[in-house]
Structure 1
C-alpha cells in the first residue's frame, strides 16, 4: 500500500484538502471523491477528450493527470464553467445549435471551447478545429459542434 500525499486544490472556486494515493487520477478524484460527475471518463487513455478539465486555465485530460499533480492548482470542471447556475455562453451555443446527442462527450467539448473563448476570443477557424481535434464524438458528426464554436467565436451572444 502506497503512502498517501496531502493535496490542497481549488476546484470550481472551492478549496479541498485531502490525503490521496499518488496513483489516483484527477478524473477519479473529481468523480468519486468530490462527486463532480460531469467529468466523463471514456477511453482512459487521453484519446477521447470526454474527461477534459481546466487546470490553471489550461485544458488537460483528467484521466491522464494524477490528482496529486494539482496540489496548489485551480481546477475547473464542466460544473464550474457556469458557477451562477445559468448556462454559460458555450453551453447555450451547444443547446442552440443542437451540438449534442447522447451528451457523453459534451463536457469535454464545452470545457475546451470555454478555454479557447477565454484565451482567444476571436480565434480563427483553424484554431477552433485544432481545439476540437482529439475530442471524439460518435453521435453528432461534428458539424453542429463546429457551428456552436463558430457562434461563440463570432461574438454572438454574451461572453463569459
Structure 2
C-alpha cells in the first residue's frame, strides 16, 4: 500500500506492507530510534508519538493508517539545536533515570500541552496514565510537566 505522511516536518512516501506497524516504520525505515518498544501491546507507553497532535502508541498503529497524517517523534521536538521545554524540564527535575520511558512520557505530555497549556495535576495524571516508569516513580515526572506548563504559560 502506498502512503504519504509527514514525519517531524518532512514528507515521506512509502510502499508499506499492510501489517507493518508505525514503530517499525519509524525505527527501521527512518532510523528514528528515540521511540522505544516496551510491551508491543500499547500498555507501557514507551512507544508514544504524536499523530496529528494526539498521543498514540506506535506499536499498536499500522503504518497504513497514516496516509495523509503528521507524525512527531521525540526527535522532532528539538529545534535549531535546542531541546523542547519538556525535555529541558525532565533533565532539570531529574525525571529520568534509565531514560527508556522518557520519550513516551514527554510525547504524552506534549500532546497535553498542545491541547491544554494550563492543566491541573489531575489532568496531567490522566494524560500520562498510559505510560509506565519502573525506575523513578512519577513525582519527578509530574513536577517536570508542571514546570514546563508553568514556563510556557508565562
Report the TM-score when normalising by structure 2. Answer: 0.96
1:55 correspondence with 2:51: yes
Deviation per CA, 1:77-105: give whole Å up to 9, x if none: 00001232211100011011000000000
1:14 to 10, 13, 19: 10
Measure the CA separation in 2 of the matches of 1:118 and 1:90: 12
Q: How does 1:7-156 map to 2 (within 5 A)?
A: 7-153=3-149, 155-156=150-151
SS in 2 for 1:110: helix
Measure the CA separation in 1 of the matches of 2:137 and 2:14: 40
Deviation per CA, 1:98-122: give whole Å up to 9, x if none: 0000000000001111111121000
1:8–1:16 CA contact under 8 A, matched in 2: yes
1:98–1:144 CA contact under 8 A, matched in 2: yes
Measure the CA separation in 2 of the matches of 1:8 and 1:85: 27
In the TM superposition, residue 17 of structure 1 has moved relative to its aligned partner by: 0.4
- Stretch of structure 1 that moved more, 49-58 or 75-84: 75-84
Measure the CA separation in 2 of the matches of 1:83 and 1:15: 17
Report the TM-score when normalising by structure 1. Answer: 0.93
Structure number having the greater helix percentage: 2
Dislocated runs of 4+, deviation >6 Å: none
Q: Which runs of 5+ in 1 are unaligned?
A: none
Measure the CA separation in 2 of the matches of 1:123 and 1:146: 11
Measure the CA separation in 1 of the matches of 2:29 and 2:66: 15
